[in-house]
Homo-oligomer: A and B are copies of this chain.
Amino acid sequence: MKLHLLLLSLVTSLAAAQTPSYPDAAASDPMALGLMQGFPPAADKTVRFIDGSSLRFPNTRWSFSHIRELVPTAQVARGNGSVSKLPRALKDLDAVSYADMDGKPRTWKEMLALTYTDGVVVMHKGKIVYEKNMGALASDGSHIAMSVTKSFVGTLASMLVHEGKLDAAAPVIKYLPELKDTAYGDATVRQVMDMTIGVRYSENYADPKAEIWAYAAAVGMAPIGLDYKGPRTAYDFLVALQKEGEHDVAFAYKTVNTEVLGWILRRVSGKNLATLLSEKIWQKIGAEQDAYFAVDSIGTEMGGGGLNANLRDFARVGEMMRLGGKFNGQQIVPKAVVSDIEQGADKAKFAKAGYKLLANWSYRNMWWVSDYGAYSARGIHGQAIYVDPKSHMVIARFASHPIAANAAQDPVALPAYRAVAAYLNK
């Protein structure tokens, strides 16, 4: 199949999924469906990357927990240190009730199903109070984090700024002269870090002409043929991006900004993202598992969405952020970097992006920052590291919601997080 036909079929199936006709969490449970069970699995239960089936719901309910079996990846090594202990004091949160943004009464347990949760860990005051794995996610497995990845890239960038190795005020082309004639030719690193870049790039998954599809092919997230002529690496894609509008005027969420930031980090550090993340965070938190990045055809990590990790390790990262960057007996992320994220960015610029469900939020160093003290790394199918220092709470969640938009789940998920926080602190 030609690439454009393949992408069209993906978009069509995705558009179809965006009607309310998709099966619910129980009906799309990958184990109950028998996806990829047996040796070999039945033909109609087989999920592959090359035919696009791994990108289609409900197959995503299996594939999001099996990315390394589908595409090439780069190891984010945990090293050989001890696994950090996560004390447990389990509570039954299933019945915690709240009203969703539409005013409907809901429970925590209901929310998990409505948002197609694959796994969730809630920590309160340093202890795991709730942990549940569903679908195809094993407790020692990994799940794709999608745009949660961006918050790691943003944090690493902030750390290098803090260390004086990267100048946030500098023009991007100080580090990447290759981008001189692109949208980034007159942008600063800070504008990239906070995504206030004017660049022609649409992330509308429902539009087959949106650049997200060409990007997906370039970075190895969509299958290509041997005769494919388009860009084959993140780099090739980035050097063709053109300006649209002005920088520094409004928040505009575009994955390519994170790819540019990842490139800057590699150029500045001389290391790839997998190594940087391993050295600066993964080896220090006492992770249980190596993490990994999906990579393009030349091993370039997809910094905008390609990180895969174990859920408890994401809880560790959230806990580390909650504690001002200190965890597992050491200061891992500088306190100033955490504080900078907590304080958020310009709310007026954020408001221009029109996120009605996130009124008064902002986006700082690639974290989503609320106006009530919590902030979050967020992935498009419901993945999240949600840090709420005031409530002494961290939530790490993986999900495989059929709709590629947080707007589909924020109305039930965000109030649930706040309800659980209130419950835990009452």
Question: Footprint of B on A, CB under 8 Å?
Answer: 1-3, 6, 36, 39-41, 46-51, 66, 68-75, 77, 80, 83, 140, 223-227, 232-233, 235, 263, 266-267, 272, 288, 290, 292, 295, 297-300
Q: What B residues does A80 contact at CB under 8 A?
A: 83, 288
Query: Which of B83, B227, B299 is close to A225, meaning CB atoms less than 8 Å apart?
Result: B227
Knowing A39-B263, A140-B77, say if A295 contacts B69 (CB, 8 Å): yes
Which are the 10 A-B pairs with shortest beta-carbon distances? A225-B226, A39-B266, A69-B299, A40-B235, A225-B225, A48-B297, A80-B83, A1-B226, A69-B72, A70-B72
Shortest Cβ distance from residue A38 to the other chain B in the assembled complex, whole angstroms: 9
Query: Which of B40, B224, B272 is close to A298, meaning CB atoms less than 8 Å apart?
Result: B40
CA of A26 to CA of B23 in the docked complex: distance in angstroms? 59
CA of A140 to CA of B76 in the docked complex: distance in angstroms? 12
Shortest Cβ distance from residue A401 to the other chain B in the assembled complex, whole angstroms: 23
- Of A39, A72, A227, A263, chain B has the most CB atoms within 10 Å of the CB of A39
Q: What B residues does A223 contact at CB under 8 A?
A: 226
Chain B minimum-CB-distance residue to A81:
B83
Q: What B residues does A3 contact at CB under 8 A?
A: 226
Query: Which of B2, B40, B227, B299 is close to A36, meaning CB atoms less than 8 Å apart?
Result: B299
CA of A397 to CA of B288 in the docked complex: distance in angstroms? 29
CA of A3 to CA of B288 in the docked complex: distance in angstroms? 41
Q: What B residues does A48 contact at CB under 8 A?
A: 232, 297-298
Shortest Cβ distance from residue A242 to the other chain B in the assembled complex, whole angstroms: 20
Chain B minimum-CB-distance residue to A71:
B72
CA of A68 to CA of B41 in the docked complex: distance in angstroms? 23
Q: What B residues does A39 contact at CB under 8 A?
A: 235, 263, 266-267, 272, 300
CA of A223 to CA of B226 in the docked complex: distance in angstroms? 8
Q: What B residues does A51 contact at CB under 8 A?
A: 226
Q: What B residues does A2 contact at CB under 8 A?
A: 226
- Of A73, A83, A298, chain B has the most CB atoms within 10 Å of the CB of A298
Shortest Cβ distance from residue A78 to the other chain B in the assembled complex, whole angstroms: 9
Q: What B residues does A263 contact at CB under 8 A?
A: 39
CA of A6 to CA of B227 in the docked complex: distance in angstroms? 12
CA of A77 to CA of B235 in the docked complex: distance in angstroms? 33
A298 near B41: Cβ-Cβ < 8 Å: yes
A73 near B68: Cβ-Cβ < 8 Å: yes
Q: What B residues does A77 contact at CB under 8 A?
A: 140
A227 near B298: Cβ-Cβ < 8 Å: no
Shortest Cβ distance from residue A193 to the other chain B in the assembled complex, whole angstroms: 18
CA of A226 to CA of B53 in the docked complex: distance in angstroms? 13
Q: What B residues does A298 contact at CB under 8 A?
A: 36, 40-41, 46-48
Shortest Cβ distance from residue A75 to the other chain B in the assembled complex, whole angstroms: 7
A66 near B226: Cβ-Cβ < 8 Å: no
Q: What B residues does A73 contact at CB under 8 A?
A: 68-69, 72-73
CA of A46 to CA of B297 in the docked complex: distance in angstroms? 10
Extra contacts, 18 of them, besides A40-B233, A69-B295, A77-B140 (Cβ < 8 A), are A1-B227, A36-B298, A39-B235, A39-B263, A40-B298, A47-B298, A48-B298, A49-B72, A50-B224, A66-B299, A69-B73, A69-B299, A70-B299, A72-B72, A223-B226, A225-B225, A225-B226, A225-B227
CA of A49 to CA of B73 in the docked complex: distance in angstroms? 13
25 A-B pairs with C-beta separation under 8 A:
A3-B226, A6-B226, A36-B298, A36-B299, A39-B272, A39-B300, A40-B300, A41-B298, A47-B298, A48-B232, A48-B297, A48-B298, A50-B226, A68-B292, A69-B73, A69-B295, A69-B299, A72-B73, A223-B226, A224-B226, A225-B225, A225-B226, A225-B227, A226-B226, A290-B290
